[in-house]
Copies of this chain bind each other. A is one copy, B any other.
């Protein structure tokens, strides 16, 4: 008898829901990885079988994003947060420009400030980060311009990628593989795995080779992207399990029809929820339409007295992860690639039921 699947509608902001085949295949690989008779947790990272996994993961990123030949793809450790520090080490010669659209953008700015001069082109901090600044100038003498394409905490997303006179660097941790873009407009793209790519424990960095080696800075090998590229992400022992599960997730994205199919799913899911938030008088969305994220939908009740009742209702509907970030309050429904439309429908049904019975 297979173990009973306890069905939860998982709206966590990350780590977050993954496709069911990823859970199933990861479990099978803990018993026997790729027919080796050895557990995935105990296989040498130098084995032919794991080397192929790393290679496939890198190729799938390249293929799904349509990256040109100048790009190299890395799977590293330390999360997007460590890249906040490594990116300026590798790319900042005199000055870098950043767009401050939220807590994580601000953290990227903070880490970069320990490396060199940082200028903030624009910030929406005064507005509680509930919008994306649109009128600003990107300094043409900056070494790069850093953006955060989706702001997990606030539920905002950049729907227009700015024309930049300098290389664009983008933290796409919470919306990578979720929508079609011309990814070749970027100089560096990075993303922690734990939203749309896999479990926590690895970070993907896609960087143009032509941008590296220009700062004049002597880099300790572990901080040098060129070293990790030369060693094919195996300069030190990679996070084997997280890379394998990420590769499985990327295979699933491809099988579903790639990034375009993900965008179609995500548009339907987010439209369903935002329409309900705009229609149902008991709810209000935190973010105005032009800046709304397809990935993280932030909202609250219009009548705080209903909180206890609403909380009980969605919990009884087997929904988890709906609590808003502590700095924003209210609710946040994260609608990452692997979340089915059915889960959003369950949430919307609860909201309608609350309205009907309030």
Instruction: Please tell me if the beta carbons of A321 and B44 are within 8 angstroms of each other in the complex.
Output: yes
How distant is the Cα of A320 from the Cα of B45 in the complex, in angstroms? 14
How distant is the Cα of A5 from the Cα of B242 in the complex, in angstroms? 23
- Determine the residue in chain B with the shortest Cβ distance to A235: B81
Q: Taking the complex as formed, is A41 at the interface, i.e. its CB lies under 8 A from any CB of chain B?
A: yes
The smallest C-beta distance from A26 to any residue of chain B, in angstroms, reads 6
Instruction: Please tell me if the beta carbons of B218 and A114 are within 8 angstroms of each other in the complex.
Output: yes
Q: Taking the complex as formed, is A200 at the interface, i.e. its CB lies under 8 A from any CB of chain B?
A: yes
How distant is the Cα of A18 from the Cα of B239 in the complex, in angstroms? 16
How distant is the Cα of A82 from the Cα of B82 in the complex, in angstroms? 11
How distant is the Cα of A27 from the Cα of B31 in the complex, in angstroms? 9
Stretch in contact with the other chain, from A32-40, A61-69, A278-286, A303-311: A32-40
Copies of this chain assembled into the complex = 2
Instruction: Please tell me if the beta carbons of B27 and A41 are within 8 angstroms of each other in the complex.
Output: no
Instruction: Please tell me if the beta carbons of A220 and B18 are within 8 angstroms of each other in the complex.
Output: no
- Determine the residue in chain B with the shortest Cβ distance to A224: B114
How distant is the Cα of A167 from the Cα of B99 in the complex, in angstroms? 43
Chain B CB within 10 A, most for which of A16, A39, A80, A192:
A39
Q: Contacts of A199 on B, CB cut-off 8 Å?
A: 41-42, 240-241
- Determine the residue in chain B with the shortest Cβ distance to A40: B199
Q: Taking the complex as formed, is A122 at the interface, i.e. its CB lies under 8 A from any CB of chain B?
A: no
Instruction: Please tell me if the beta carbons of B242 and A239 are within 8 angstroms of each other in the complex.
Output: yes
Q: Taking the complex as formed, is A230 at the interface, i.e. its CB lies under 8 A from any CB of chain B?
A: no
Chain A 87-136 interface residues, beta-carbon cutoff 8 Å to B: 107, 110-111, 114-115
- Residues A82 and B237 in contact in the complex (CB < 8 Å), given A31-B27, A42-B10, A201-B242: no
How distant is the Cα of A238 from the Cα of B200 in the complex, in angstroms? 7
Instruction: Please tell me if the beta carbons of A42 and B16 are within 8 angstroms of each other in the complex.
Output: yes
Q: Taking the complex as formed, is A219 at the interface, i.e. its CB lies under 8 A from any CB of chain B?
A: yes
Q: Which of B18, B38, B110, B237 contacts A10 (CB 8 A)?
A: B38
Instruction: Please tell me if the beta carbons of B42 and A222 are within 8 angstroms of each other in the complex.
Output: no
The smallest C-beta distance from A199 to any residue of chain B, in angstroms, reads 4
How distant is the Cα of A86 from the Cα of B153 in the complex, in angstroms? 29
- Determine the residue in chain B with the shortest Cβ distance to A29: B27
Residues of A within 8 A of B (CB): 3, 5-8, 10, 12-18, 22-23, 26-28, 30-32, 36-39, 41-45, 77-82, 84-85, 107, 110-111, 114-115, 192, 194, 198-202, 218-223, 235-242, 245, 318, 320-321
16 new A-B contacts at CB < 8 Å, known A23-B39, A41-B198, A115-B220: A3-B28, A10-B42, A15-B43, A15-B240, A18-B41, A27-B31, A77-B201, A77-B239, A78-B82, A81-B237, A107-B221, A111-B220, A111-B222, A114-B219, A199-B240, A201-B239
* 6 A-B pairs with C-beta separation under 8 A: A12-B38, A15-B41, A78-B78, A84-B222, A107-B221, A194-B240
Shortest beta-carbon contacts, A-B, top 6: A201-B239, A81-B236, A6-B37, A114-B220, A77-B77, A41-B199
